[in-house]
A = this chain, B = another copy of it.
Amino acid sequence: MTSIAASGVRCAVPFASADRIQLGHGSGGRMSAALIGGLFMRALDNAALAEMGDGAVVTADGLELVISTDSFVVSPLEFPGGDIGSLAVHGTLNDVAMMGATPICLTAGFVLEEGLPIATLERIVASMARAAAEAGVNVVAGDTKVVERGKADGLFVNTTGIGTVHPRCRPGPRRARVGDVVIVSGPIGRHGMAIMAAREGLEFESTITSDSACLVPLVERLTASGVEIHVLRDPTRGGVASALNEIASASRVAIALDEEALPVPENVRAACEMLGLDPLYVANEGILLAIVPEADATRALDTLRSHALGRDSAVIGRVTGQPAATVILRTALGGTRIVDLLPGDQLPRIC
């Protein structure tokens, strides 16, 4: 998931156009960035928050820790490939991992709506427990609040994770360098389209399942391989396009994507075409973007492909110099187009 920090793109859009919160403010796109930069970052101003990572680095008695927080409001609560419980575990563990850190624990804070079936809650908490156990991490503290019927939507859950920083791995959104390659660890667009299909009752030839997964093992292998990792990011809300825009903006570089290299599953492509969506903006919950020096590209690909989650890893683009803070797509037809942040929300409540 994108933290305040992660969404904190310094963008030129002033935060003045709205006097009320709109759905687009939660999109991970331009309106989110404006809300975060114009309101949250300004009020809560501090160096850790300003770093705009997927989490913050804090120091406790000389020990560097990563902390990341995420609230989950996905609708429906259960969907092909996961549910809000497993998603809340994967999402926050992945954010900790994207900081080059190893997660050590999670917390969970629930807001429950009066009338939620206990059986639903039991399934979701069991799924959360399984996901945490698979990652080897405990949910060590929690909280439960209940609000009246009609004041929430089933349940919302916040998870917060702490991790310890790897001594040799300090990726960050400002560290992309001209000449680096952009690697994606798997097919794009599955999570968002699985949610859309479940929500709208859409039927495709094959069911689209969410890619929701814990990326910690993938990051561990990459770190252990000795690859110099400049940037790690899980392209969740706002998709690959928004994640790369944030990185291009933070690093003051251009990123050129190769459309033909983008791994878009056939059922995702068909669903996107039917709904008029661009898979580059569709959320993912089980893939990562790694930006590494070109010299390390082969080793990075081999390492990622050695794990089931990274089997389909591919180079999808390169970091170039100009125009700064821009993502460009080289289309299959040989043209180019700018891949901008979306102004508002293409797919609300996918995480």
- A residues sitting closer than 8 Å to B (CB atoms) are 1-5, 7, 18-27, 32, 35-36, 39-40, 43-46, 48-49, 55-56, 58, 60-61, 63, 65, 67-73, 104-105, 107-119, 121-122, 125-126, 128-129, 132, 138-148, 150-153, 156, 158, 160, 162, 164, 345, 348-349, 351
**Which B residues lie within 8 Å of A55 (CB)?**
141
Of the candidates B44, B48, B71, B148, the one whose C-beta lies within 8 Å of that of A23 is B148
Decide if A44 touches B110 in the complex (CB within 8 Å). no
Interchain nearest-CB distance for A77 vs B (Å): 13
New A-B pairs, 4, CB < 8 Å, besides A73-B111, A73-B151, A147-B156: A5-B140, A20-B116, A46-B139, A152-B152
Decide if A141 touches B21 in the complex (CB within 8 Å). no
Q: A7–B146 Cα gap in the complex (Å)?
A: 14
Q: A251–B148 Cα gap in the complex (Å)?
A: 34
Q: A126–B138 Cα gap in the complex (Å)?
A: 33
Given A20-B115, A138-B49, the answer on whether A132 and B32 have CB atoms closer than 8 Å is no
Q: A126–B43 Cα gap in the complex (Å)?
A: 6
Decide if B142 touches A69 in the complex (CB within 8 Å). yes
Decide if B61 touches A164 in the complex (CB within 8 Å). yes
Q: A254–B27 Cα gap in the complex (Å)?
A: 53
Interchain nearest-CB distance for A115 vs B (Å): 5
Q: A216–B159 Cα gap in the complex (Å)?
A: 24
**Which B residues lie within 8 Å of A19 (CB)?**
117-119
Interchain nearest-CB distance for A111 vs B (Å): 5
Decide if B63 touches A4 in the complex (CB within 8 Å). no
7 A-B residue pairs with Cβ-Cβ distance under 8 Å, sorted by A, are A4-B141, A4-B143, A49-B138, A49-B139, A49-B140, A69-B141, A109-B160
Interface residues of A, dominant DSSP: mixed
**Which B residues lie within 8 Å of A1 (CB)?**
143
Decide if B2 touches A143 in the complex (CB within 8 Å). yes
- Quick one: closest B residue to A71, CB to CB? B109
Decide if A60 touches B164 in the complex (CB within 8 Å). yes
Decide if A114 touches B23 in the complex (CB within 8 Å). yes
Interchain nearest-CB distance for A133 vs B (Å): 9
Decide if B49 touches A146 in the complex (CB within 8 Å). no
10 shortest A-B CB distances, which residue pairs? A26-B146, A4-B142, A158-B158, A69-B107, A56-B140, A160-B160, A48-B140, A71-B109, A46-B138, A56-B141
Q: A140–B4 Cα gap in the complex (Å)?
A: 9
Q: A255–B176 Cα gap in the complex (Å)?
A: 61
Of the candidates B25, B69, B114, B118, the one whose C-beta lies within 8 Å of that of A160 is B69
Interchain nearest-CB distance for A163 vs B (Å): 8
Decide if B60 touches A144 in the complex (CB within 8 Å). no
**Which B residues lie within 8 Å of A35 (CB)?**
144
- Quick one: closest B residue to A5, CB to CB? B141
Q: A71–B56 Cα gap in the complex (Å)?
A: 20
